Amino acid sequence: MTARAKSKSSQLIAALMMYPTFSEACAKAGVSERTAQRWMNDGEFQRHFEWTRKEVLRKTIDGLRSCGLSSIKALQTVLDDKSVAPYVKVNAANTCLTHLFRAVEIEELSARLEKLEKALAGEGENG
């Protein structure tokens, strides 16, 4: 890939992260859909694209974590406030519990998936 093509492929990856459709991302990056499709089948492009997607997700999660404690404190304030209507408190408690259960579930599934991936990697090395 030429330096210009690498620059364009990086622009396409950035556009794919920002725009909802493939066509729109291609247009914003100034790359034809046919070329973009060809790049999507290229191993180096795929690795760069996947790395970028994971990095965007990681930064998004980090941003959510940074506001997590404030959100919990806000919900706790609602729960502790005697002037707040009971149904609001129930909604606040439900929100806390729902997200807690989701977080625990994701954590457990991630651990199980990691074990499976390690087991499969071990089989691949032995097989």
Distance CA 56, CA 14 (A): 10
Residue-wise DSSP of 18-34: H-SSHHHHHHHHT--HH
Question: Residue ranges of the domains in the chain?
Answer: 1-67, 81-127
- Residue 21 has what pLDDT? 96
Distance CA 40, CA 64 (A): 30
- Residue 100 has what pLDDT? 79
| DSSP 8-state code for residue 2 | -
- Residue 101 has what pLDDT? 83
Q: What is the residue type of 45?
A: F
Q: What is the residue type of 107?
A: E
- Residue 19 has what pLDDT? 95
pLDDT tier at 25, thresholds 50, 70, 90? very high
Is the pLDDT at 50 greater than 70? The verdict is yes
pLDDT tier at 115, thresholds 50, 70, 90? very high
